[in-house]
Amino acid sequence: MSATDQIVGFVGAGKMGEPMVLRLVAAGYRVQVYARRPEVRERLAAAGAVPVDSAAATARDAGIVVSCLFSDAQLLDVAAGADGLLANADPGTVVVSHTTGTVSTLSKLAEEFPDGPVLVDAPVSGGAHDIEAGTLTVLLGGPDDAVARAQRVLAAYADPVIATGELGTALNLKLINNVLFAANAQLAAAAVALGKSLGVRDTSLFEALSQCSGGSRAAGYVQSAGGVDSFAKVVAPFMRKDVAACIEAAADRGVELGLLQTVAQNGPLDLS
């Protein structure tokens, strides 16, 4: 690993990003982190990270920059333009985006800086507890050499890290996964409603499904959340965004989601 790859820039130290930074620091990286909230900056500085005053400043001398932002709009706000992250990163710097957004946004950024840093899409599957355990699943799309460099750094908080092919393939795979998860969540919620009509207790239903062929990971998450309402309150906003992103990505390619979209958007959960 080169000396510059030992310096990692980081933007987006929120619920997911903060434990990523902590794992990177613990793995021995110098992490230059931009966080808007003073209390986050203070916590990360106390842990050994180096707070900087802008997203662009995270790229200074860094071989790898990680962006962990919620939406395409946030990514564009941070990365695009003359004062953005990409314009201030050295050529050859690998910029890893954990945003579950659209391939068109990644392509736009790559076209804006054709001779600049190398973009890698790196959507994730899992939560903060997986990051803390070093077992987050990350999909990586981009040039082979950039992916290999990113894999070594992301191993601080992710296992497995799965290479998927060229830029955008990881994001497309993640979007397929997300719309399938949304469809499974709708089916799980419908099963709970059916169980109620047939006099089956939720606890009995989930216990049985966990051991039977009709069970799913989505049903397990509904159970862990304490029921459909609690699950929907926490997860529905993310699923709604992800389903919309998948529809947009498919439309860009002239593809329809068919049954997946029908199930994902037509069920007990409001995901349309």
CA 29 distance to own-chain centroid: 21
Strands (E), 35-186: 50-51, 64-67, 94-97, 118-121, 124-125, 136-141, 158-165
Residue 242's pLDDT is what? 83
What is the rounded CA–CA span in Å between residue 74 and residue 198?
Answer: 46
Residue 234's pLDDT is what? 92
Residue with tokens 């939720």: 202
Residue 209's pLDDT is what? 96
What is the rounded CA–CA span in Å between residue 265 and residue 34?
Answer: 37
Helix 17-26 and helix 38-47: axis angle, to 10°? 20
**Residue 196 among the catalytic residues:** no
- Long-range Cβ contacts of 105-112 (<8 Å, 24+ apart): 105/72, 105/75, 105/76, 106/167, 106/168, 106/171, 107/167, 107/168, 108/76, 108/80, 109/75, 109/76, 109/79, 109/80, 110/167, 112/80, 112/86
Q: Pick the catalytic residue: 15, 108, 174, 241?
A: 174
What is the rounded CA–CA span in Å between residue 220 and residue 223?
Answer: 5
Q: What is the pLDDT of residues 190-202, one digit of tens each?
A: 999 999 999 999 9
> What kind and span of H or E run contains 63?
none
Residue 1's pLDDT is what? 63
Residue 3's pLDDT is what? 65
What is the rounded CA–CA span in Å between residue 17 and residue 57?
Answer: 17
Strands (E), the chain: 7-11, 30-34, 50-51, 64-67, 94-97, 118-121, 124-125, 136-141, 158-165
Which of 157, 161, 134, 137 lies closest to 148 in space, CA to CA?
Answer: 161
Domains and CATH numbers, the chain: 4-166 (3.40.50.720), 172-265 (1.10.1040)
What is the rounded CA–CA span in Å between residue 163 and residue 232?
Answer: 31
Q: What is the pLDDT of residues 101-124, one digit of tens each?
A: 888 899 999 998 888 899 999 999
**3-class state of residue 97 by DSSP:** strand
What token pair was written down for 59?
Answer: 């790229």
Going residue by residue through the chain, which has 272 residues, state the pLDDT in tens, using 9 for 90 and above. Answer: 676 689 999 999 999 999 999 999 999 999 999 999 999 999 999 999 999 999 999 999 999 999 999 899 999 999 998 888 999 999 999 999 999 888 889 999 999 888 889 999 999 999 999 999 999 999 999 999 999 999 999 999 999 999 999 999 999 999 899 999 999 999 999 999 999 999 999 999 999 999 999 999 999 999 999 999 999 999 999 899 889 888 888 888 899 999 999 999 999 999 98
Whether residue 21 contacts residue 31, with contact meaning beta carbons closer than 8 Å, is answered with: yes
First to last CA, the chain: 45
